[in-house]
Amino acid sequence: AVVHFTEKYYFGEVFLITLPIAVIQQVKQDFREPLSWRYPEPPAEEEPQFPPNFELKTPAPVESVSAICGENSVRVEAKNDLLGIGKPVLAADVTLGGCPATGEDSEAQVLIFESELHGCGSQLLMSEETFTYVFTLLYTPSPLGNSPIVRGREVSVNIQCHYQRLHDVSSGLLKPTWTPFIESKSSEESLYFCLKLMTDDWKFTHPNPQFLLGDMIKFEASVKQFQHIPLRVIVDSCVATVVPNVDTVPRYTFLGNSGCLFDSQLTGSSSQFLPRSQDDKVQFEVEAFRFDQDNSGMLYITCSLRATAAASAVTSTNKDCSFADGWRESSGNHRVCSCCDMDCGKGSGSDLLRTGRSTWKERTVGPIIVKDRPL
């Protein structure tokens, strides 16, 4: 191979120089023996090591809610660490039947909820022996900041307050701190009033208080005494509402004026008192109804019951009057009903007042469900 170089000088002469250059040829190396290098082998998998006698831990129930049931109200305390995970919940995320906390004990680190028995979405369940008010404590966790996640779960805690029809009160949630209340008077000095729904044959307490329009709802009021003086029970008044509170609207007073059953006069129904078979018990029936523009068909009946001595005469304030082509008293003494269209006054049970006993009580039954009769 020949390479030509040309150089130009400023003196105007140009010389061409030719130089020989040796050519280098590439030769492929020939490995006579195989390569000894190899990729390293992956490490052997280690057998997992488990702790001996391992058992999955069963989570212990969190005792973070307690309740105190009083005669007319309930007090619920929920720990700030409601879920038992060491982190407090937001107070705004916890409600009692939709009601927010009424207070907070920073020292005990609890949220406090207080409500009347008929408030905060409570439900009233009734049996032959007890009243049960049911509340729901609900925790609904809020998202964390602007993120779509939560670090908690929705929790619903059922709270029940049980009340015997006689005189005991108790709480049915976890470990209540309230001691059951017991009437301090001896049983010989107490009067016990009862109002209940009955079956069509009047032999048993009604097991399922659901009725159709046109059915007769049968009520039995009674008083029990633990001494020798026989008593008569009087139904002074009865009010129907859609919740167990007589001070709400709508409401319908279908019996009043110290024993006048107005419903048959006002609506032309077949509602009536039945003739008595014993003084300490009175039976009456009311034709099923529901409130206008109320789709629930739910009724609560609250009656004011009063006791008087059985030897007391049937009077304008001690009577069972129904309207059927005029006012009629169940014992046949119809003239005492003449005041039903006016003011009959109020009975006092004065013959019992000297004993210091309460001679009247309000009693409520419900919920009663009234449905449309199918066509």
* Beta bridge pairs of residue 223: 193
- Work out the mean pLDDT of the chain and round it to a whole number: 77
Q: Would you give the distance in Å from CA 300 to the centre of its chain?
A: 16
> Lowest mean pLDDT: which of 6-20, 130-144, 146-160, 353-367?
6-20
Residues 92 and 200 in one domain: no
Do 80 and 110 touch, CB atoms closer than 8 A?
yes
Residues 221 and 302 in one domain: yes
Evaluate whether residue 170 is within a structural domain: no
- Its domain, for residue 253, covers 192-342+359-371
Evaluate whether residue 30 is within a structural domain: no
Residues 98 and 204 in one domain: no
Given this model, what pLDDT does residue 39 score? 65
Residues 139 and 229 in one domain: no
Q: State the virtual CA torsion across 64, 68, 69, 72 in degrees, nearest 10.
A: -120
Given this model, what pLDDT does residue 174 score? 39
Residues 329 and 203 in one domain: yes
Greatest mean pLDDT range, 63-67, 73-77, 180-184? 73-77
Higher pLDDT, residue 33 or 328: 328
Which residues touch 234 (CB under 8 Å, ≥6 apart)?
Answer: 258, 259, 282, 305, 306, 307, 308, 317, 318, 319, 320, 347
Residues 76 and 116 in one domain: yes
Residues 206 and 126 in one domain: no
Handedness of CA 325, 327, 330, 331 (dihedral sign): negative
Residue 336 belongs to domain with CATH number = 2.60.40.4100
Given this model, what pLDDT does residue 188 score? 36
Burial (CB count within 10 angstroms: exposed 0-12, middle 13-18, buried 19+), residue 83: middle
pLDDT one-digit tens code per residue, 208-229 = 888 887 788 999 998 887 554 7
For residue 321, what pLDDT band results from cuts at 50, 70 and 90?
very high
Rounded to whole angstroms, the Cα distance separating 338 from 330 reads: 14
Residues 79 and 226 in one domain: no
Is it the case that residue 50 has pLDDT exceeding 80? no
Is it the case that residue 63 has pLDDT exceeding 50? yes
Given this model, what pLDDT does residue 140 score? 86
C-alpha separations of 189 from 135, 183, 185 in Å: 34, 10, 6
Is it the case that residue 34 has pLDDT exceeding 90? no
Is it the case that residue 375 has pLDDT exceeding 80? no
Token digits of residue 199: 């079956």
3-class SS letters over the chain: CEEEEEEECCCCCEEEEEEECCCCCCCCCCCCCCCCCCCCCCCCCCCCCCCCCCCCCCCCCCCCEEEEECCCEEEEEEECCCCCCCCCCCHHHEEECCECCCEEECCCCEEEEEEECCCCCCEEEECCCEEEEEEEEEECCCCCCCCCCCCCCCEEEEEEEEEECCCCEEECCCCCCCCCECCCCCHHHCEEEEEEEECCCCCCECCCCEEECCCEEEEEEEEEECCCCCEEEEEEEEEEECCCCCCCCCEEEEEECCCEECHHHHHCCCCEECCCCECCEEEEEEECCCCCCCCCCEEEEEEEEEEEECCCCCECCECCEEECCCEEECCCCHHHHHHHHCCCCCCCCHHHHCCCCCCEEEEEEEEEEEECCCC
Given this model, what pLDDT does residue 135 score? 94
Evaluate whether residue 128 is within a structural domain: yes
Evaluate whether residue 235 is within a structural domain: yes
Given this model, what pLDDT does residue 120 score? 92
Evaluate whether residue 187 is within a structural domain: no
Rounded to whole angstroms, the Cα distance separating 105 from 79 reads: 10
Evaluate whether residue 350 is within a structural domain: no
Residues 155 and 205 in one domain: no
Number of domain units in the chain: 2
Evaluate whether residue 366 is within a structural domain: yes
pLDDT one-digit tens code per residue, 151-203 = 556 788 889 998 886 544 444 443 433 333 323 232 334 678 889 988 888 88
pLDDT one-digit tens code per residue, 228-281 = 478 889 999 999 888 888 888 888 888 998 899 988 888 888 889 999 988 889
Evaluate whether residue 221 is within a structural domain: yes
Rounded to whole angstroms, the Cα distance separating 46 from 64 reads: 44
Residue 156 belongs to domain with CATH number = 2.60.40.3210
Residues 321 and 235 in one domain: yes
Which residues touch 165 (CB under 8 Å, ≥6 apart)?
Answer: 128, 129, 130, 131, 192, 194
Residues 209 and 268 in one domain: yes
Residue of 286, 112, 132 lying closest to 197 (CA atoms): 286
Residues 248 and 117 in one domain: no
Above pLDDT 70, what percent of the chain? 69
Higher pLDDT, residue 332 or 40: 332
Rounded to whole angstroms, the Cα distance separating 296 from 46 reads: 67
